[in-house]
Amino acid sequence: MPDELNHLPLIQRVLAREKATPGALLPILHAIQAGAGYIPDSAIAEIAHALNLSLAEVHGVISFYHDFRTTPPARHTLRLCRAESCQSRGAEALAAQLREQLGLDDHGTCADGSVSLRPVYCLGACACSPALELDGQVHARLTPERLQALLQSCREEVKAC
C-alpha cells in the first residue's frame, strides 16, 4: 500500500470534524499536516470535494504558505531565524554556512531526506540572537562553531547530503 493511503483514515476524520466550520480549509490543512507530517497528494482531492473547492484552489493555499509541506518531512528540520535582530548579529553569514555545508538553498531538503532548511522570522529569542530551531528546540547565541557542532550532532544524516 502506498504510504499516502495510510493517511486516508486521518484525512477522513479531519474532514468529518472540520468541513462544516466556516473557513475550514486552513484548520483542515494544519490538522492533516500535524497528523501525517505533510499534506499528501491524496488529501487534496478529498479536501476539494468536501469543501466544494477546485483542486487549484486547494493547491493555491498550500503553495502560498511555506509552512505547508507536500512531501514527508526530513528527519531533522533546522529553522534559522532571518529577522532583524538575528540579521544584525550575523544570521546571514550563518545561513551561508548552512547552504555551503549542506549544499542546499534556504528551503532545501537533502536528497536522502535527512535535513530540511527553513527560514523563520523570529523565534522569540531576540535578546539572544542569532538563533535557530532544530527539531523544535531553540538554540541561541549562535556562532559558526556552535552551528558546526549542531550540524555535527546530525552528522550521520548530514554527511549523506
Nearest CB to ligand FES, comparing residues 10 and 128: 128
Report the nearest approach of ligand FES to the CB of residue 108 (Å): 20
User: Is the bond into 130 cis (omega within 30 degrees of 0)?
Assistant: yes
Nearest CB to ligand FES, comparing residues 69 and 139: 139
Instruction: Give residues with Cβ within 8 angstroms of 137, minimum separation 6.
Output: none
Of 152, 118, 159, 148, residue with least CA distance to 135: 118
Report the nearest approach of ligand FES to the CB of residue 120 (Å): 8
Residues within the interface to ligand FES (CB under 6 A): 81, 83-86, 122-123, 125-126, 129, 131
Report the nearest approach of ligand FES to the CB of residue 81 (Å): 3
Rounded CA separation 123/35 (Å): 23
